[in-house]
Amino acid sequence: MTIGIRYAARSDVGMLREGNEDSAYAGAHLLAVADGMGGHVGGEIASAAAIGELRKLDTDLPASELLAALEHTVRAANDKLHRIVESDPALQGMGTTLTAMLWSGSQVALVHIGDSRAYLLRDGSLFQITHDHTLVQSLVDEGRISPDEAASHPQRSLLLRALDGRGEVDPDLSLREAKVGDRYLLCSDGLSGVVTAETIFQVLTDYQDLEQAVRQLIDLANRGGGPDNITCVVADVIELPPGAAPPGGAPQAVGAAANAQRGDLPGGPGGPPMHAERPADTPAGRAAQLRDTMPQPPVVVDEMPPPQPAPAPQLREQPMGRPPEPMPQAPPRAPRRRWTWLVVALGLFVVVLAGVSAFAVRSMRSDGFYATAEGGRVVVYRGSPETLLGLSLHSKAAEQPNPPIQVADLPQPLRDRLRTKPFVDLNGAGGWRNLARQICMYSLLPEGDQVVIKQGNGQNDCKPTLVDGNLTIKLTELPDSDRKDVQDGKLKFANRQAALAKLKELDDRRKACKNPATSNITDCPAGTTTDGGRRP
């Protein structure tokens, strides 16, 4: 029996992000999802570069070569990211998750690194077939927190493994057996972090059409707030007639991968032609792009159907050969002209009032800016927080804080003001930058012989607070340059996640110094190595 896959792929920017850092690919032999990170530009480049390397595997390979081919290509993608960062240091810190499946008949090789996910729907049950490489998942594995606590943990987005070009990559690799009737879902955490597994199961079960299933999953994530980019690839395993070509049509690239140069995609040299989701840069193309990347019209789930329209009035048929009887008419009434001038005057007053109100609303919306708290973040509005005749005098400003400002990171007086007033007047569209300068920074500092994270150290109106970093690092074990940066207080960050990531980087460098045979760090401290020797 010969089997193949039929697939659909789609990516959406979500409700809060300005750009799409996700990338995905779907072809006859390869399915892949990558979730970029490191800023808008860096995330797009990282995910598209990873998919650009993986797409070269979309060809018919022997089953015995699947795992080796995937592992080799993932390492090549990691090397490519390293070269990109070397050529442009401004992209330092970029990276991407990667979850991909490579097919050869019924054999499927799965590679995974990061927190994107792969699911399998088989025989009426849904299985998550990947394991998140996140801090909270490690805490769940160790029994320190429950899965319910992990869903709301403040560090749930902190990755322990990713494709970032900064060292050797360590992906999960496995070989699986596919069956006819299986349905696979690959997705970024913009879906799995918002839509529950039970809802994902319901959609994959209820929607037989692949494109409808993908659209419904993305729509549900957007209705759940859409805090991140959302990318889905859904594939069905089907039986092929002998000698039949694989189904599915042209390969698809979506998200940031659709913007890559043709020479770097399967449409370029060395790969099959690929269909990019985004159209050409023409007026019609840009309109189509807005249609495809913005949230789709919601599909109502488990709601009552709309009421039936009232039936149209029916005309009674007349017997043939007889004209219809005329409708009875009321006797004519004399015109009442004395009220005409009052009606006209009232109409003019309403028109003038509406015009004045519209002008006032437009003027007030375009003048002044203020900030308020929504969902724990600072959001900027243009106009006035007041209303006029029931009309809103404000709209969300085009320029929002980037990165977002967490209300909890502001000094206590500002937090109290946002809670009681509840808004802060800003000086112009960029006035939020003054708020950003008042953030209680997260600093890596010496505390005795250890490195700790402390928020608000030495800042006005900020209460110095120790932050649990879940790592114990001795200052004397750090490379000299890192130890000096900590002692001089140079390592400061605007958000908790960045500080935790830097703390983990210091821990990795500390561990590398204990293995001089593999370390390229030149300023490691003198001391005992892990093999019992002495570092000079």
Per-residue confidence (pLDDT) for residue 283, from 0 to 100: 37
Per-residue confidence (pLDDT) for residue 242, from 0 to 100: 77
Using H for helix, E for strand and C for coil, what is the string for 196-251? CHHHHHHHHHHCCCHHHHHHHHHHHHHHCCCCCCEEEEEEEEEEECCCCCCCCCCC
Give me the half-sphere count of Cα atoms (radius 13 Å) on the Cβ side of residue 158: 24
DSSP 149: H
Can you read off the two tokens belonging to residue 266?
Answer: 């399967």
**Each residue's pLDDT tens digit, 152-197:** 888 888 999 999 998 889 999 999 999 999 999 999 999 999 999 9
DSSP string, 455-480: ESTT-TT---EEE--S---BGGGS-H
- DSSP run (H or E) holding 344: helix 340-365
Q: Is the dihedral of CA 366, 369, 370, 374 positive or negative?
A: positive
Q: Which amino acid is at 432?
A: W
Question: Could you tell me the fold of the domain covering 3-259?
Answer: Phosphatase 2c; domain 1 (3.60.40)
Domain range summary for the chain, segments of one domain joined by +: 3-259, 369-438, 442-514
Query: Alpha-carbon distance 213 to 107, whole Å?
Result: 25
Per-residue confidence (pLDDT) for residue 157, from 0 to 100: 83
- DSSP run (H or E) holding 121: strand 117-122
Ordered mean pLDDT values, 10 residues apiece, the chain (536 residues)? 91 93 96 89 93 96 96 96 92 94 96 97 96 94 90 87 91 96 97 95 97 97 95 95 71 90 39 42 38 33 32 37 38 39 65 59 56 84 70 76 85 78 73 82 91 88 84 89 92 89 90 82 74 46
DSSP 102: E
Query: Residues 457, 150, 92, 168: what is their CA dihedral angle, to the nearest 10 degrees?
Result: 130
Q: What values do phi and psi take at 49, rounded to 5?
A: -65, -40
Q: Which amino acid is at 253?
A: A
Per-residue confidence (pLDDT) for residue 435, from 0 to 100: 78
Per-residue confidence (pLDDT) for residue 367, from 0 to 100: 53
Beta strands in 359-417 (DSSP E): 369-374, 377-388, 391-396
DSSP 55: G
Contacts of 79 (CB under 8 A, 6+ apart): 165
